[in-house]
Amino acid sequence: MRMTDVTKQLAGLGGAKWQVHLAAREMVAAGADVIEMTIGEPDVPPPAELMETASAAMLAGRTGYSNGRGEANLREALAERYSASSGRPIASENVLCFPGTQTALYAVLMGVAQHGDEVLVGDPMYATYEGVIRATGADLIPVALRPEHGFRMQASDIAEKITPRSRAILLTTPHNPTGSILTTDDLDAIGRLAAIHDLWIISDEVYDQLVFDAAEFVSPLARAAFAERVIVVSSISKSHAAPGFRSGWCIASAAFCDGLLPLSETMLFGNQPFIADMTEQAVRDGSPVAAGMRERFAARAIRLEERLHHDTSLRVHLPEAGMFAMIDVTSTGMDGDAYAQDLLHGAGVAVMPGSSFGERLRGWVRVALTIKEDRFDLALTRMVDHANQRSVAPT
């Protein structure tokens, strides 16, 4: 039986990128002692008060259809939050609610790009970006994120890739997988370029509450000179350790939200009212778990860097935010794919090959910082032993 072109466009972009993770899960199910450092699952449960609010809302009857834009109380809370953080007036008309950042990003890209268009994305990139862009029929144009620039996207590199087909620049700040944060100067240069070529700026900011103490986050939404072309997507998945609740949003001009509304309504018709009530509380009260995650993830990244630097020739790129750190494994003589497979089967530690996030990271792997302390330290010992067994000595 026939299937549509979109299924062909997305072939190989789902579980194929997560082969090591899936193999690790199979090994664990079979009884193997495997330490999983593959995915960004928060290391704490969602705050109990949020689950209590969601439960109370369900019992109170908040289980009916939603407004297509999302529940009014949540949209108002988000408007107030982004007005405060951006220093610009943001109203409810600037908000659309979705079940998670992924759905928001899919809808936004469907609204700005189509067959024959191009979307410029930093390479490396989050693993699902290729899929959401291909689903629109547009082409993904990778823009090199270079280690010498701290993996921050540079306007000069974007400029080299712009063509008459370009429609949008997709940013991730803080960045997954590298943990880098775009500076004000970076954003202003990118904004000037977008204005010259009439491009949208889509900013995935799901890690904006997990910025480490030494770093500073600035959203392009706060840059008044080009804010009208900025679309922010985010959620409570990371900030409130609540990925399973699937509660996200986009913030954009009223005209963009009006134009995207029919697509949003066709897809899902708003978010669930009881989850909207919980999310409103999360937005208004802030996160009681984010500070602890920031502290733990930053400390684990430092331990990872110090241990591997001292005992092996593996090199760690320290993140400024988020849940991950990158390790350059080229000194082993293996690329990231071969190293990840060898580490899994030889040492019982599962990490993500860098190639899952783009060609620029073929010699790297990504390590989740969300593992509990004892297992994290055991993973470090296993990684050091594995490196030494393969004659990888510190330089």
Q: Are 374 and 256 members of one domain? A: no
Q: What is the pLDDT of residue 183?
A: 97
Q: Are 369 and 244 members of one domain? A: no
Q: Are 250 and 327 members of one domain? A: no
Q: Are 23 and 94 members of one domain? A: no
Q: What is the pLDDT of residue 391?
A: 62
Element (H, E) at 233: strand 230-235
Q: What is the pLDDT of residue 18?
A: 79
Q: Are 242 and 348 members of one domain? A: no
Please give the residue range of the domain that contains residue 332: 5-45+289-389
Q: What is the pLDDT of residue 41?
A: 86
Task: From 249, 267, 285, give the residue that closes a domain.
Answer: 285
Q: Are 84 and 28 members of one domain? A: no
Structural contact between residues 172 and 217, judged by C-beta atoms closer than 8 angstroms: no
Q: Are 38 and 89 members of one domain? A: no
Domain count, the chain: 2
Angle among Cα 48, 177, 247 to the nearest 5 degrees reads: 35
pTM: 0.94
Is position 153 within any domain? yes
Q: Are 199 and 99 members of one domain? A: yes
Q: How far apart are CA 108 and CA 27, in angstroms?
A: 38
Task: From 227, 260, 285, give the residue that closes a domain.
Answer: 285
122 phi-psi bin (left φ>0, alpha ψ -120 to 50, beta other): beta
Q: Are 31 and 149 members of one domain? A: no
Q: Are 216 and 198 members of one domain? A: yes
Q: Are 214 and 152 members of one domain? A: yes
Is position 100 within any domain? yes
Structural contact between residues 311 and 317, judged by C-beta atoms closer than 8 angstroms: no
Low-confidence stretches of the chain (pLDDT < 70) are 13-16, 391-395
Backbone angles phi, psi at 207, to 5 degrees: -100, 15
Task: From 255, 285, 315, give the residue that closes a domain.
Answer: 285
Q: How far apart are CA 298 and CA 318, in angstroms?
A: 9
Q: What is the pLDDT of residue 392?
A: 54
Is position 395 within any domain? no
Is position 302 within any domain? yes
Is position 394 within any domain? no
Q: What residue type is 90 in one-letter code?
A: I
Backbone angles phi, psi at 238, to 5 degrees: -90, -45
Q: Are 307 and 210 members of one domain? A: no
Is position 142 within any domain? yes
Give the CATH number for residue 310: 3.90.1150.10
Structural contact between residues 271 and 188, judged by C-beta atoms closer than 8 angstroms: no
The string of pLDDT tens digits covering residues 43-59 is: 999 999 999 999 999 99
Q: CB within 8 A of 338, min separation 6: which ones?
A: none
